[in-house]
A = this chain, B = another copy of it.
Amino acid sequence: MKLENIRIVMIGTTHPGNVGAAARAMHNMCISRLTLVDPQCPIGDVAYARASGANVILDNRETHADLGAAIADCSRVIATTARRRSLPWPELDPREMAESLFALDDDRQVALVFGREHSGLSNDELQMCHQMVCIPTNPGFSSLNVASAIQVMCYEIFRYQAEPYELPAPEGPDLPASSAEVEGYIEHLRQTLDGCGFLNPQQPEMIMQRLRRIYMRNELTRSEIHILRGILSSFARQQG
């Protein structure tokens, strides 16, 4: 599956702001093809303002009179709804949907279909879909804004294709301190605390073990050790 083969289909949208917000959400997640079916509002300034720079998505949008025309070349059509229907229907959550998409061949055309703001998808439209996705929600307040639903779906798709999603370790040039460097700091700390009477001579280890735990679990870097030892030296000069 390639992201460019995935289209977002919005049916009967009544609020241009939602179309703009959907364009932004799509562009954030590298999904570029927006298809409007029977839109009930103009796509003008309000939509472009909410798109917040994702103009290319709105400029290249397609418009069709009905869902059948919008998905004619698609071999996987997925409806999104917060409601569970009484009909038995293959039902996925957004993560499973993303997984299932990327199991498809590269040349498949896929549509994610989103219904009207107030009435969702008609039964005829639902019948054209192969799968239904439910975004898990508060049972007492289950209706997501349509652009928010598009955001969640596109996020799951983008996140999945970015997998294996390994965040590069946010390492600066600063190297992790070695054990010996950490021990050197802890010994320096012990001597300093001993010198100023902070440690109980009978049980110096109790406090030292607590302090060791603070600094050990921290994975200090070399430059941090340098700062911390600098502080100790600065105290020593004061005392001297």
Residues of A with Cβ closer than 8 Å to B? 17, 21, 24-25, 27-30, 52-54, 84, 86-93, 95, 134-138, 141-145, 147-148, 151-152, 155, 158-159, 162, 165, 167, 170-172, 174, 193, 196-198, 207, 210-211, 214, 217-218, 220, 223-224, 227-228, 230-231, 234-235, 237-239
Contacts and interface: CB of A to CB of B under 8 A. Distances in A.
A152 to B, nearest CB: 5
Task: Tell me how many chains of this kind the complex includes.
Answer: 2
Q: Which of A86, A134, A135 has the most CB of B within 10 A?
A: A135
A26 to B, nearest CB: 9
Q: Which of A90, A138, A159 has the most CB of B within 10 A?
A: A138
A93 B84 CA distance: 29
A138 to B, nearest CB: 5
Contacts of A136: 155, 158-159, 162, 165
B214 A88 contact: no
Given A148-B151, A234-B193, A88 B170 contact: yes
Contacts of A27: 138, 141
Contacts of A151: 144, 148, 151-152
B138 A234 contact: no
Nearest to A20: B145
Nearest to A148: B151
Given A88-B172, A148-B148, A162-B136, A218 B224 contact: no
A233 to B, nearest CB: 9
Contacts of A137: 28-29, 158
Given A28-B137, A28-B141, A238-B238, 16 more contacts: A24-B148, A53-B141, A54-B141, A87-B170, A87-B172, A134-B167, A135-B155, A136-B159, A151-B151, A152-B155, A193-B231, A196-B234, A196-B235, A198-B230, A210-B223, A214-B218
A170 B217 CA distance: 13
